[in-house]
């Protein structure tokens, strides 16, 4: 690869979701950039100046003067640097699902030219970029890796709904398939990321760094969740314990809860998949995953016990779940574990209403078969589960939420956002 001048860069961003759009907008302020997505509806809304993920404002979209949007692959043919930002989910057996990544690689391979660079941002296990993606690029394009085209890896660090930690304010890890490519990738990202970059020695190191970021958080949250299970049996309030322990300067401020989303509940399985492939069984990581994956069922079980003690029949009971997204104050439904609570109550044949002012009802139905209600009914519910700490629920307060239930309704606060004395139980 020759020492490419940034003035010659023509970017193609493949995938315009929570990761790709902020990247396309930031690059589009400086470089000719084409944002590509296979969803025509997504392209239409972006061309109209709207972002349904709420990650980018209308003003920010307008500021990207050199950015265009397309769902036509041939519009990428004029680019010389491609950034792939597609999802990397897991399947129903908790195994990495690289289908979107493979499809994106085939698409890029069709327009790849001699001298081009392909940069991947999707979270993968160490080795996936060079073992899975590169062979597809070579096969489809007919070009030779590290001779005709080059590859970089710079893992995304997007935090949906976070207006403080943004693309430009988070240090960006970079890497490349050759020293020259690595320097190019690093310089390219350094031109838009104010916080700076960290150039890794290889693509595999950068891949591993990304996958352990969320694995570390997952294990830490699993520990706190397990402590919550213990303290519940001891009749001790978990939040009070954590606040007391948190008075020490080096105590890590994790909280119990449901672990979902596109990263924490998914990324560890990528690492454990690769570990098992090379003959190592990761005990701590998988143990943490089992604990976190079981929290929805545990919460439902606790609510059912409290209902039973009050002689409230669970079958045909009216249950309200407040919040469906995987985290507060954002519309992101990916891998939300609130669904686990809902499924448990469906098994009891309870009547469940789900209310979330942040959610697109059609998306919730398409993804999970759940149609959120549009309005709340006062005095209607036998049990209320506050599952997500949206600001609307905080503003509603304990009194407002209690008003939605019958006089002896159970109120369970998953996120511990209401006063302890105002709820029947909290995680």
Catalytic positions are 263
Neighbours of 363 (CB within 10 A): 13
Three-state SS string over the chain comes to CCCCCHHHCCEEEECCCCCHHHHHHHHHCCCCEEEECCCHHHHHHHHCCCCCCCCCCHHHHHHCCCEEEECCHHHHCCCCEEEECCCCCECCCCCECCHHHHHHHHHHHHHCCCCCEEEECCCCCCCHHHHHHHHHHHHHHCCCECCCEEEEECCCCCCCCCCCCCHHHCCEEECECCHHHHHHHHHHHHCCCCCCEEECCCHHHHHHHHHHHHHHHHHHHHHHHHHHHHHHHHCCCHHHHHHHHCCCCCCCCCCCCCCCCCCCCCHHHHHHHHHHHCCCCCHHHHHHHHHHHCHHHHHHHHHHHHHHHCCCCCCCCEEEEECCCCCCCCCCCCCCCHHHHHHHHHHCCCEEEEECCCCCHHHHHHHHCCCCCCCCCCCCEEEEEECCCCHHHHHHHHHHHHCCEEEEEEEEECCCCCCHHHCCEEC
Cβ atoms of 271 and 215 closer than 8 Å: yes
| Rounded Cα–Cα distance for residues 350 and 113 (Å) | 58
Neighbours of 369 (CB within 10 A): 9
Cβ atoms of 385 and 417 closer than 8 Å: no
């Amino acid at each position: 690869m020759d020492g490419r001048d940034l003035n010659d860069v023509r970017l193609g961003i493949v995938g315009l979701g929570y990761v790709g759009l902020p990247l396309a907008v930031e690059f589009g302020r400086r470089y000719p950039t084409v944002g590509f997505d296979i969803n025509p509806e997504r392209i239409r809304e972006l061309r109209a100046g709207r972002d349904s993920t709420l990650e980018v404002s209308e003003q920010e979209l307008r500021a990207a003067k050199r950015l265009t949007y397309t769902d036509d692959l041939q519009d990428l043919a004029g680019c010389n640097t491609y950034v792939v930002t597609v999802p990397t989910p897991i399947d129903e057996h908790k195994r990495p699902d690289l289908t979107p990544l493979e499809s994106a690689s085939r698409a890029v391979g069709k327009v790849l030219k001699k001298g081009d660079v392909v940069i991947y941002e999707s979270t993968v296990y160490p080795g996936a970029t060079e073992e899975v993606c590169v062979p597809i690029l070579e096969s489809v394009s007919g070009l030779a890796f590290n001779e005709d085209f080059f590859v970089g890896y710079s893992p995304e660090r997007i935090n949906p709904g976070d207006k403080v930690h943004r693309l430009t304010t988070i240090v960006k890890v970079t890497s490349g398939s050759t020293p020259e490519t690595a320097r190019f990738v690093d310089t390219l990202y350094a031109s838009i990321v104010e916080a700076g970059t960290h150039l890794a020695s290889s693509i595999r190191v950068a891949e591993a760094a990304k996958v352990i970021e969320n694995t570390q958080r997952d294990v830490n949250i699993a520990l706190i969740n397990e402590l919550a299970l213990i303290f519940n049996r001891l009749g001790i309030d978990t939040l009070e314990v954590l606040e007391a322990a948190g008075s020490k300067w080096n105590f890590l401020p994790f909280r119990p809860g449901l672990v979902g989303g596109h990263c924490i509940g998914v990324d560890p399985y990528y690492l454990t998949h690769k570990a098992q492939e090379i003959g190592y069984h990761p005990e701590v990581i998988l143990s943490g995953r089992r604990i976190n994956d079981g929290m929805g069922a545990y919460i439902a079980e606790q609510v059912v016990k409290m209902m039973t003690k009050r002689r409230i029949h669970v079958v045909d009971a009216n249950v309200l779940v407040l919040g469906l997204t995987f985290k507060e104050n954002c519309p992101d439904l990916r891998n939300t574990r609130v669904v686990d609570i809902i499924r448990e109550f469906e098994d009891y044949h309870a009547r469940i209403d789900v209310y979330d002012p942040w959610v697109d009802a059609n998306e919730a139905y398409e993804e999970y078969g759940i149609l959120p209600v549009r309005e709340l009914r006062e005095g209607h519910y036998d049990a209320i589960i506050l599952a997500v700490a949206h600001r609307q629920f905080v503003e509603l307060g304990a009194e407002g939420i209690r008003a939605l239930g019958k006089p002896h309704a159970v109120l369970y606060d998953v996120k511990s956002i209401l006063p302890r004395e105002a709820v029947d139980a909290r995680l």
